[in-house]
Amino acid sequence: MCGIVGYKGKNDACDILIDALKRLEYRGYDSAGIAVWHEGEIEIARRKGKVDELRKVVADGSFTGRIGLAHTRWATHGTPSERNAHPHRAGDVVVVHNGIIENYIELKERLREEGHKFLSDTDTEVIPHLITSYIKKGRSFVDAVRLSLKELKGSYALGIIREKEKMLIAAKKESPLIIGVGNGEYFIASDAPAIINRTKRFIFLEDDDIAIFADGTVRLIDLEGKTIKREVHQVQWSDAMAEKGGFKHFMLKEIFEQPRAISETLIGRVKEEKGQVDFEELKLPDLTKINKIWMVACGTSYHACMIGKHLFETMLRIPVETDIASEFRYREPILKKDDMLILISQSGETADTIAAMKEGKKRGVYTLSVCNVLGSTLARDADGVIFTHAGPEIGVASTKAFTTQISVLFLLMLHVGKVLGNMSSEDISRYIKEIKQIPHKVQSILDMADNIEEMARRYMICRDFLFLARGINYPSVLEGALKLKEISYIHAEAYAAGEMKHGPIALIDENMPVVVVSPHDHTYKKTCGNVEEVISRRGRVLMFTDNPSHEMADRVESCFVLPRTIYALQPILSVVPLQLLAYYIANFLGTDVDQPRNLAKSVTVE
């Protein structure tokens, strides 16, 4: 995810901004840029690549001034390049932006009709042009910003300066932005690590807040121009804690980032009022001729494939075959020209998945990658690509990448359903409405994380776990067991609940915790029977259900109630408490949660 920093104060802005960008490098980025205001002029420098390349540009001392903005970009619109790097300028207005502007195409067309010329491929560039448009119509700088923000659909964290104003403006909606309060100086940043060495006094902006830095003060207003108040918080974070947003580990931070990650994956793609899903610039083959879909991946991403198979077969009646990428080409799969091969990888650099893509291309099959890293091998070399906008994932054990992969596959299923005529616009609108509620429902689970932590404390001494579920939630328990194995080094196995009596039931006794996902769906009664079988053998059941009146709730050791959603979206909700359970057990045991032994974040060898 991109990094924003800004400064207004009594010291030289350039060195402060470059240092702040270096402190945000852990977030991942593909380009960097800086803008410094000095006596009515703004100097801008942008470079593809690392912050050190940008540092070389400003090393001659030409970037002097006490107001400035800087940015590291994680590309979402347009390839990594100098022309697409931030800051972006229109007239004398300069902007840096995190987030995604959902309606930028409509705004760009309108602004072009007014005579505006665009120089990049980004969604961000419409923002300075829109502000400039209002200024030309006689609006003040502050009003032009405020009115522009009211037109934007999507998410943003913004830093804005103008040559004719000795002022810095910041604004936030659904993308993080904080204010650092120093001694006669102010900072803005997308994350505390950027400025924690300069101040520990922060104002945490809320959605639709606008901050105006002028005359040595900061004033906050809302979108209507009304003054608002926000408390200044004193934090005691160390630099390391700040990098993790105050969380003990990156993994926990990333679990808690899932509402935002899913929201940003949806933005710009779902058109609820039109009953359609759009994937910008994605050129799919003639879907009416698709014979079969293949979904291929490794590890966590393979579990996403299993959910994707369930979605496409259950809702569209399209046959899907899933394969573990390391096995795919060695069994010489029967690929036909009218098949589609979907390859899923967080990094886009997984060696076995890349090899599977090459096998598909060799057979003349259309290849579509789902990944999180723009510029990665899968993103470059596949015939089509859909990005999950999860932002960088630092913890080795994948969490937010998984839930955004499921979200993308659900959206792709809706898109294919619309193209093939298998789904009406009304049905798609209903499903879009459901998935737009998922981030809020994930947040409600995270708000009850303390309950999962207490559950973890109770079971942390157990050395074996069994995970059970049916239907579309079976891949979720596979993922839950994998998370527990990865970071706590506890033996855990997951089975489709109906398979328990075909062997695993022999393991069950009073020392065996059995994690069961049992929503109130068409598998409910069958799963109740499986829980009964565990209890009768004195097994210890930890149940996760969306039914507060579950008939087995009073007979199990632990029960956690999930929010309800449609069957197709249950895995996104059911996996979150399993991620938390694994995390808290590992944390209690004192293992290296973010870098578990023997594992790597990106498996680039076979």
Q: Stretch 213-229: mean pLDDT, rounded?
A: 95
pLDDT band at 603 (very low <50, low <70, confident <90, very high): low
Whether the CB-CB separation of 78 and 121 falls below 8 Å is answered with: yes
For residues 487-518, one letter each, b for 16 or more C-beta atoms within 10 angstroms of the residue's C-beta and e for the rest, the string is: bbebebbbbbbeebeeebbeebeeebbbbbbb
Closest CA to 90 of 44, 31, 143, 147: 44
Give the DSSP letter string of 226-255: -B----EEE----HHHHHTTT-SSHHHHHH
Give the per-residue pLDDT at 605: 42
Catalytic residue IDs: 2, 601
Residues 108, 300: Cα–Cα separation, whole Å: 39
Q: 367 vs 37, 43, 486, CA distance in Å?
A: 47, 43, 30
Residue with the larger pLDDT of the pair 558 and 273: 558
* Residue type, position 87, single letter: P
Q: Which residues contact 148 (CB under 8 A, 6 or more apart)?
A: 127, 130, 131, 134
Same fold, 3-243 and 448-589: no
Mean pLDDT of the residues in the chain: 90
Give the per-residue pLDDT at 602: 56
Residues 112, 23: Cα–Cα separation, whole Å: 38
CATH for 252-444 (2.170.190.11, 3.30.565.10, 3.40.50.10490, 1.10.10.10): 3.40.50.10490
Q: What distance, in Å, lies between the first and last C-alpha atoms of the chain?
A: 29
- Write the DSSP symbol of residue 564: P
pLDDT tens string 53-66 = 999 988 888 889 99
Which residue do the tokens 């893509």 mark?
357
CATH 3.60.20.10 fits domain 3-243: yes
Q: In CATH, what number does 448-589 get?
A: 3.40.50.10490
Residue with the larger pLDDT of the pair 406 and 278: 406
**Cα angle value 230/236/237 (rounded, 5°):** 100
Backbone angles phi, psi at 601, to 5 degrees: -70, -45
pLDDT band at 604 (very low <50, low <70, confident <90, very high): very low
Residues 489, 464: Cα–Cα separation, whole Å: 10
For residues 19-48, one letter each, b for 16 or more C-beta atoms within 10 angstroms of the residue's C-beta and e for the rest, the string is: bbbbbbeebbbbbbbbbbbbeeebbbbbbb
User: In the predicted model, is pLDDT for residue 27 greater than 80?
Assistant: no
pLDDT band at 601 (very low <50, low <70, confident <90, very high): low
Residues 347, 328: Cα–Cα separation, whole Å: 19
**Cα angle value 420/425/430 (rounded, 5°):** 120
Residue-level length of the chain: 606
Give the per-residue pLDDT at 552: 83
- The three-class DSSP label of residue 460 is coil
β-sheet with 340-345: strand ranges across: 320-324, 293-297, 340-345, 366-371, 384-387
Q: Stretch 552-557: mean pLDDT, rounded?
A: 86
Q: Stretch 467-492: mean pLDDT, rounded?
A: 95
The residues spanned by each domain of the chain are 3-243, 252-444, 448-589
What are the beta bridge partners of residue 294?
321, 341
Residue with the larger pLDDT of the pair 550 and 321: 321
pLDDT tens string 97-138 = 988 898 999 999 999 999 999 999 899 999 999 999 999 999
Q: 226 vs 143, 170, 267, 399, 486, CA distance in Å?
A: 12, 16, 28, 39, 50
Closest CA to 17 of 29, 32, 7: 7
Closest CA to 521 of 576, 474, 467: 474
Q: Which pair of structure tokens corresponds to residue 95?
A: 């902007």
Residue with the larger pLDDT of the pair 574 and 3: 574
pLDDT tens string 138-177 = 999 999 999 999 999 988 999 999 999 999 999 999 788 9
Q: Is the peptide bond before 80 cis (omega within 30 degrees of 0)?
A: no
Q: Which residues contact 288 (CB under 8 A, 6 or more apart)?
A: 419, 420
Q: Stretch 555-566: mean pLDDT, rounded?
A: 93
Q: Is the pTM of this model over 0.85?
A: no
Whether the CB-CB separation of 370 and 346 falls below 8 Å is answered with: no
